[in-house]
Amino acid sequence: MIDLYMWSTTNSRRASIGLEEAGLEYNVHPININEKDQFTPEHTARNPYQKVPVIVDHDGPGGVPVTVFESGAILLYAAEKSGKLYGKDAVDRVEVQKWFMLIMNATLPIMGALRANPPLLPNAERVLGVIDGHLADHEFFAAEFSIADLAFYPRVANWSVDSLALDKYPNIIRWTALVGDRPAIQRGWAQPG
Ligand SMILES: N[C@@H](CCC(=O)N[C@@H](CS)C(=O)NCC(=O)O)C(=O)O
């Protein structure tokens, strides 16, 4: 069984939708970051960076318990453990990896910093233009729904910075609706309940 420590945040829901789509069972433990629950000694032992989400898999590789922090690492872990969400073959896995890295390394940090740092707008528009162009002729980032889709969805589903209107990106809008219709996404998005 997996324990998921999360709050009702974009990064946390990346983990809950990932576990749902992977078909892995998990128990949710709310960590109320408004009440500073992330700074308790118990949570600091799980994640020295004192953030959510974190998972503890009591049946990790070889039956050894493991703790995973960082939502991207949790997606990779869920894909490895389930054998799902990581491309339909070795070639497609390279597609998943490219888009997953572009999203985690370039897209999310820029979008996340935009509210506090408005001059980043051209950078955000540039990378979103690349993603919109890719989604113009791809249903998902790779041949099948994957961790690349899971990485991006929480950011755009929860977007609220006025300077950047996502309706300039019709393919991202179409893709967001398609992903949001998936029952597993809806179950994960409803967490922590
Ligand atoms: N890169 C991390 C970011 C995690 C993160 O920033 N979590 C926020 C909630 S969305 C948090 O725990 N904030 C509490 C704090 O910074 O004290 C990830 O993807 O997991």
| pLDDT of res. 171 | 98
Q: Are residues 50 and 114 in the same domain?
A: no
pLDDT-derived band at 189 (thresholds 50, 70, 90) equals very high
Mean pLDDT across 131-140: 98
CA–centroid distance, 93 to ligand 1, in Å, is 27
Q: Are residues 115 and 174 in the same domain?
A: yes
Q: Are residues 116 and 76 in the same domain?
A: no
CA–centroid distance, 89 to ligand 1, in Å, is 32
> Does the C-beta of 146 come closer than 6 Å to ligand 1?
no
Percent of the chain's residues with pLDDT above 90: 99
CATH number for the domain including 147? 1.20.1050.10
Q: Whose CA is nearest to atom 19 of ligand 1?
A: 71
| pLDDT of res. 187 | 98
Q: Are residues 44 and 102 in the same domain?
A: no
| pLDDT of res. 71 | 98
- Backbone φ/ψ region at 67: left (φ over 0), alpha (ψ -120 to 50), beta: beta
Q: Are residues 76 and 124 in the same domain?
A: no
What atom in ligand 1 is closest to the CA of residue 12?
10
Q: Are residues 112 and 75 in the same domain?
A: no
Domain with 152 in it = 90-182
| pLDDT of res. 4 | 98
Choose the residue to mutate in 4, 34, 52, 68 for probing ligand 1, maximizing ligand atoms within 8 Å of C-beta.
52
Q: Are residues 121 and 69 in the same domain?
A: no
Q: What is the pLDDT of residues 85-127, one digit of tens each?
A: 999 999 999 999 999 999 999 999 999 999 999 999 999 999 9
Mean pLDDT across 52-57: 98
134's tokens: 């890719």
Cβ neighbours for 94, distance < 8 A, ≥ 6 positions apart:
87
Q: Are residues 67 and 125 in the same domain?
A: no
Of 172, 193, 181, 135, which is closest to residue 21 (Cα–Cα)?
A: 181
CATH number for the domain including 31? 3.40.30.10
| pLDDT of res. 87 | 98
For the chain, how many structural domains are there in total? 2
Q: Are residues 77 and 6 in the same domain?
A: yes
Q: What is the pLDDT of residues 5-16, one digit of tens each?
A: 999 999 999 999
Q: Are residues 178 and 101 in the same domain?
A: yes
Q: Are residues 103 and 167 in the same domain?
A: yes
Euclidean distance between CA atoms 157 and 88, whole angstroms: 26
| pLDDT of res. 106 | 95
Mean pLDDT across 162-188: 97
Mean pLDDT across 147-168: 96
Mean pLDDT, the chain, integer: 98
| pLDDT of res. 17 | 98
Q: Are residues 132 and 68 in the same domain?
A: no
